[in-house]
Amino acid sequence: MAAMPIAPSNGIELCYETFGEPDDPTMLLVMGLGSQMIHWPDDFCAALAARGYQVVRFDNRDMGESTWFDGGGVAGVQTAIGGGDVGVPYLLSDMADDAIGLLDHLGTDRAHVLGVSMGGMIAQTIAIRHPARVASLASVMSTTGDPNVGTPTSEAMSALMAPPAATREAYQDAVVHHAHVWGSPGLFDEERLRETAARAWDRGYNPAGTARQVLAILSSGSRSAELAGLSIPTLVIHGTADTLVQPSGGERTAEVIPDAKLLVIDGMGHDVPPPLWPQIIDAVAGHASEHT
């Protein structure tokens, strides 16, 4: 398999891939906590590209084939959750600036930005810090950073904080277990999850990076005041069955961003399973097309 291209960005390197025609409007996909760009499935990206977009996916810092960092880990996360001070290697603002650096590398002035979970937090931060670069914003199964909304259930928190897998097979098992905790009930495909988990393990599984990303989330605080000042067309999507970022997170996001549209999908958990792709792609592509 040919190596994916690498972009210099914000002092680091980001691994990325594009789908569709470079002359089409760009849609930047920002992935969530501990996830790699392959967690945006090839066929999902191709379906978005078929709607008339150059789709760009990338590995966030500390994941996959992008730059990994040192320092920070699970112990720091536990301290931060308990309210203690810990040193953090980076914040969500740095991850947002990474994405802008990728757009710079691609020669893209403005993009439609779609983020899921932590990627939604990063997408929101891109809109706050670089509003002129964002044609439209779609924030999916995410939240504002306010501590009283979007909190995980106790079962979801326990699964999230479990010790990292030590083997490829254990990682596959953990991914399937997580789907049963916070995925869309009856809609996810266990075999597909195992295949993607195996690819992710082989590309660059980095549990210490996941812990540092958690620290970035915890240390970045609430975005509500800044989101209230946005004038960017925004679509918020959330599922009723999400136990990792409960629906109040999406509801608050849509509440604070002026004129934001809220799409609540019945039975959707903290994932984007193939049976829901048509509805999600229609919503995202339709929203972007109104503001291209």
Residue with tokens 């996916």: 57
Q: How much is the pTM?
A: 0.96
Tell me the C-alpha distance between 285 and 281, whole Å. Answer: 6
Question: What is the arithmetic mean of pLDDT over 21-47?
Answer: 98
Number of domains in the chain: 1
Inside any domain, residue 1: no
Inside any domain, residue 109: yes
In the three-class reduction of DSSP (H, G, I as helix; E, B as strand; rest coil), residue 292 is classed as coil
Taking only the tens place, the pLDDT of each residue in 76-116 is 555 555 555 567 889 999 999 999 999 999 999 999 999 99
Provide the mean pLDDT of the chain: 95
Tell me how far the alpha carbon of residue 181 is from its chain's centroid: 18
In this prediction, residue 3 has a pLDDT band, given cuts at 50, 70 and 90, of confident
The pLDDT of residue 1 is above 80: no
Domain that holds residue 256: 6-289
Inside any domain, residue 17: yes
Inside any domain, residue 271: yes
Tell me the C-alpha distance between 292 and 38, whole Å. Answer: 26
Taking only the tens place, the pLDDT of each residue in 230-283 is 999 999 999 999 999 999 999 999 999 999 999 999 999 999 999 999 999 999
The burial of 284, by beta-carbon neighbours within 10 Å (0-12 exposed, 13-18 middle, 19 or more buried), is given as buried
Tell me the C-alpha distance between 135 and 120, whole Å. Answer: 15
Q: Which tokens sit at 142?
A: 């995410």
Tell me the C-alpha distance between 292 and 289, whole Å. Answer: 5
Domain with 57 in it: what CATH number?
3.40.50.1820
Tell me the C-alpha distance between 220 and 37, whole Å. Answer: 23
Tell me the C-alpha distance between 30 and 36, whole Å. Answer: 9
The pLDDT of residue 21 is above 80: yes
